[in-house]
Structure 1
Amino acid sequence: MTPAGLGARDTLRLEAGLPLYGHELSLTSTTLEAGLGWVLGWNKPTFRGRAAVERERASGPRRRLAGLVSAGRQPLREGAEVLAGGRPVGFLSSGNYSPVLERGIGMGLLTPGLAVGEPVTVALRGREVPADVVALPFVAKES
């Protein structure tokens, strides 16, 4: 076994598309926005917050967790604004360089209308970095 630090763990978490509290999960995001509706006890007659989640489920979440892959090796960074057609569509909640993909990757809460494969730009340090919306996880689990 080779020792690894928190940076390696965070890169692996990001490549696996796993949300982290304080990033993709917070007091300002919902279970459905984070793509975690499957963890709720829908088969139970009631659970705390069920009415609110059912309202959101009926109307659709205002944001959704999505993956982004940059066109180059530039690491994507948490907090960066995501733009589509020059207009803001969300922000990155996590970002890093993926050694497996040899690209910058990030997860963010974006407007729900963006489709997989759609080009976007990420505002990083005064530059606009091209990226594409992708399905999560970034790296498939080996069987």
Structure 2
Amino acid sequence: MKTLKKTLTILILPLYFGCQVAPQPIAYGTDGCHFCKMTIVDKVHAAEIVTKKGKVYKFDATECMINFMDEFDTAAIQLYLSNDYLEPEALIDATKATFLISKNIPSPMGAFLSAFKTQADAEKLQLEKGGETYSWDTLLKHFSN
């Protein structure tokens, strides 16, 4: 019995540690968008989903990530991440971010959507560029219309 427990532990332990739920760096200019298939090149608008099993889906824009969610079981998603507009390549928790839609800030898919780590950051750029701010929940409602 002791040998069986030890054998099972040895077999199961690598599986447990093999499924890390963590973001992966985006290889700009190489990785493709899982939704629209474009190459991801924009370092301030990219996004990523990480499932509860650790599978990563990369997107060239937050709007592609949102559109992908229509085709995916969102109950399987652990992390929603968007690039911080003010810190290129930095992925932030999209569910806690503030978003700005401004016709004066183009994004890869034409939704003019940018993510910000804080509401203050988004509002500061909004004063310069115009547009409207959204929380994650209000953004999802906006895109569902």
**TM-score, scaled relative to structure 1:** 0.26
Give the structure with the higher percent helix. Answer: 2
Q: Choose 1 or 2 for highest CA Rg.
A: 2
**TM-score, scaled relative to structure 2:** 0.25
Give the structure with the higher percent strand. Answer: 1
